Structure 1
Amino acid sequence: MVDDEIRALAAVLLERVGELAKEIATRIRGALNDYDAVPEEELEEACRTHYGNALQTLAGQAPLDTDTTARIGRRRAQQNVPLPSVMTAYRIGVKYFWEVVVGEATASSLVGSDQLVAADSAMWELQDKVTEAVVSGYHDAVAQRLLASDQERSALVEALLAGRSMETDAVWSAAEALGVPRNGPFAVVAAEVPHIGRQALPEVAAILSRRGILSAWRLRPDIQLGIVYLRTPRDLDVLVEVLRHQAERRVGVSPPCDDLYLTGDDLRLAKVAMRAGDAGSGAVTVFDDCPVAVAAAGAPDVMVRVVTSVLGPIKALPASERELLLDTLDVWFSCGGSAEEAAKRLYVPSVGDQRPRCSSSVIVWG
């Protein structure tokens, strides 16, 4: 890369590498507050490593060590030093380093102008490789941290939805880690994946977050699950809107529950709602909005909730009205759900005029 004169100059500067590293570290710390997170000795050691290796390379004593440079980049990411600040620190170091090279060359007369031009080209080539290694190491650390965070969040969602025994403190800790409130209402979402291991609702957490809705998700081989915090009643409508836009396969949404501890119970209801949709479609079924479809896809114990939500108000009626409505319902069922046929069967003649018995009931049930 360089001639003998530059190698000789680099060898001379190697003897001063400790002094150079200390000065570069001082300049970086004075210019960048973000480097307060980096211990003083560690920063000096990093500068000594970087510029010592660069001088060794220019002197022909060792190849450029990009592995060590990448480790330093990973370390800065772990210390939460922003990448732009890391790049600025390197520019500060290179600027000072080149000033020293030029000063030493002028003072010692070891090299002339032509050799300095060659040295400049060689130094920037080295710096490009160093920068590439630093950025690569930094991005690797960020990716690993995000992956670890995602895995932790996924495990917490799994623990809540699997109905595992969790103490109250553990549930609260899970809520804090997931970034959702301790108290609801919450809804559980179950989405059928298009292929094994592939997300059914890509980027759904980010999309909901932009709409002001907090959520946490877990991907299983055949289903993607989510816990969604419904801050306002309107949030359920927004959730369904987003799901309908994103879904490729069936999606089910559970009834809201107020306790994060109970989301495991609601998972089953979300799955029942999902199965109520047409297979192969992107249908989004909300459990409480489709009682007939849910009843068809559910189990006997699920029917208890359906009956309670659909027929519950009848219990509050006077006995005579309740009996009238249930009789009408019985006729409607016996007519295969035909309101017209049920009306004919319920048509009862009276003195002077003929009126359909329970016509309003037929309308209600039909």
Structure 2
Amino acid sequence: MVDKEINALATSLLERIDELTKEMAARIRAGSRAYHYDVVPEEDLEDACRIHLGNALQAFTGQMPLDTAAAADIGRRRAAQNVPLPSVMTAYRVGVRYFWEALVDEATTTSLVGNDILVSAASAMWEIQDGITEAMVSGYHDAVAQRLLAGDQERSALVEALLEGRSMDADAVWSAAEVLDVPHKGPFTVVAAEVPRIGRRALPDIAAVLNRRGIRSAWRLRPELQLGIVHLRTPRDLDDLVDVLREQAERRVGVSPSYEDLSRTGDALRFAKVALRGGDAGSAAVTVFDDSPVAVATAGAPDVMARVAAQVLGPVEALPDDERTLLLDTLEAWFDSGGSAEEAAKVLYVHPNTVRTRLRRIAERTGRSLTDPRGITELSLALRAVRQTPRPPTSESTGAD
């Protein structure tokens, strides 16, 4: 809308732009505590007010189209200054209200326009201010998104540096803890989780879920693993962590022993990987290193244990799949039941004598007695090694002829 009378009114106000700028800034500053504008320097605030007033008035006069780029720049600046967006919007409302008051006052004082034209001017003014405000909000959101992305990248790089065990002095470790938003001292633990497929997280939203329980953590996604550094305030936090992992896990997860110094994260990661391998292949087992000595012992030397498993359980492994599975499941249930045939029978839904018969067959085929401590130990280690090793697909499972 370019009307001769409106043009004259806007031109008159442009001649007073320095005065109007200072008054608009003063009104916003008067509410600085409520609007969080105490962090905005005086010159910055006045500059923004001058830009918005000049932009709106020049659009009124038709001298140039509305410049939304300037408003977007100011939005980005307020985001960088950490002024909350609701506070920026409130300040804008104060500014718009003052702008309208200035228009009405100028029109009344100079008699440049009548009431009917002033009503039309109001409609145009709100349209202009909407364009300015939308551009400012867009710029604000862009800056916040860029900052979050940069923050995520920095966090990810620091997590990776700690997990790789890179040499970091005390100041660097302190800075890493600040950026990761975890305490500087432990205890900490490292979590290693197998991903379902490359590029997909094993534990979606795990940081947020743990944070709701008061547990701080930082995570890194690698092609085959999702890795996390978790701060444990109390022993109860470890229990809560394991509960969450068991709820979310789709594949194996390993939890390292606790440690005090972030610079030892690389060592903890090695233990977490061993604990992960301690779980049954293809399962969603959550293995805590300190709670699973047999599992981690076999996982810690996979090549050696593969030979042990072949030597000890080779005769059972050579049986047809159905028979092999039946005997190994029975042996595992017997171990899990503390060596009780009665308890194992309840788990397997069979008679205790059936369990005893199967155990005798295992003893006969392997030559290891289930009453001899050495035989029990060898069978236990061999069974863990077998469970931890993925079995190659059979022609039956692949559908091959």
State the match for 2:264 in structure 1. 262
- Contact preservation (8 Å) 1:251, 1:274: yes
Aligned-partner Cα distance in 1 for 2:196–2:2: 58
For residue 181 of structure 1, report the CA deviation from its aligned partner: 2.6
Point out where structure 1 has 5 or more consecutive residues left out of the alignment.
304-335, 346-355
Aligned-partner Cα distance in 2 for 1:240–1:157: 21
Change (3 A) 1:36 1:7: same
- Contact preservation (8 Å) 1:2, 1:119: no
State the match for 1:350 in structure 2. none
Aligned-partner Cα distance in 1 for 2:54–2:292: 71
Change (3 A) 1:357 1:17: closer
Change (3 A) 1:194 1:362: closer
State the match for 2:349 in structure 1. none
Counterpart selection for 2:170 from 162, 168, 171: 168
- In the TM superposition, 1:79-90 aligns within 5 A as 79-90=81-92
Aligned-partner Cα distance in 1 for 2:146–2:167: 30
Aligned-partner Cα distance in 2 for 1:199–1:31: 46
Identity %: 70
State the match for 2:135 in structure 1. 133
Aligned-partner Cα distance in 2 for 1:131–1:302: 68
For residue 112 of structure 1, report the CA deviation from its aligned partner: 1.6
State the match for 1:11 in structure 2. 11
For residue 63 of structure 1, report the CA deviation from its aligned partner: 1.0
SS at match of 1:118: helix
Counterpart residue identity of residue 46, structure 1:
A
Deviations 1:335-362 (A, max 9, x none): x8876558x99xxxxxxxxxx9879x97
State the match for 1:272 in structure 2. 274
1:228 maps to 2:230: yes
Aligned-partner Cα distance in 2 for 1:207–1:101: 53
State the match for 1:50 in structure 2. 52
State the match for 2:315 in structure 1. none
Aligned-partner Cα distance in 1 for 2:236–2:255: 15
1:249 maps to 2:246: no
For residue 98 of structure 1, report the CA deviation from its aligned partner: 0.5
State the match for 2:31 in structure 1. 31
Between 1:140-149 and 1:26-35, the stretch displaced more is 140-149
1:116 maps to 2:113: no
- In the TM superposition, 1:355-366 aligns within 5 A as none
Between 1:16-25 and 1:237-246, the stretch displaced more is 237-246
- Contact preservation (8 Å) 1:252, 1:274: yes
Aligned-partner Cα distance in 2 for 1:221–1:128: 46
- Contact preservation (8 Å) 1:71, 1:134: yes
Aligned-partner Cα distance in 2 for 1:357–1:49: 89
For residue 261 of structure 1, report the CA deviation from its aligned partner: 1.8
1:238 maps to 2:276: no
In the superposition, the TM-score normalised over structure 1's length comes to: 0.79
SS at match of 1:166: coil
- Contact preservation (8 Å) 1:17, 1:48: yes
Counterpart selection for 1:151 from 153, 175, 185: 153
Aligned-partner Cα distance in 2 for 1:294–1:357: 24
Aligned-partner Cα distance in 1 for 2:278–2:154: 32
Counterpart residue identity of residue 245, structure 1:
E
Counterpart residue identity of residue 196, structure 1:
I
SS at match of 1:191: strand
- Contact preservation (8 Å) 1:2, 1:122: no
For residue 77 of structure 1, report the CA deviation from its aligned partner: 1.2
Aligned-partner Cα distance in 2 for 1:252–1:362: 26
Change (3 A) 1:172 1:125: same
Counterpart selection for 2:208 from 202, 206, 209: 206
State the match for 1:20 in structure 2. 20
Aligned-partner Cα distance in 1 for 2:135–2:2: 22
For residue 206 of structure 1, report the CA deviation from its aligned partner: 2.0
In the superposition, the TM-score normalised over structure 2's length comes to: 0.73
Aligned-partner Cα distance in 1 for 2:93–2:75: 15
Aligned-partner Cα distance in 2 for 1:283–1:294: 13
For residue 207 of structure 1, report the CA deviation from its aligned partner: 1.7
Counterpart residue identity of residue 174, structure 2:
W
Point out where structure 2 has 5 or more consecutive residues left out of the alignment.
306-330, 340-355, 364-369, 381-401
Between 1:25-34 and 1:267-276, the stretch displaced more is 267-276
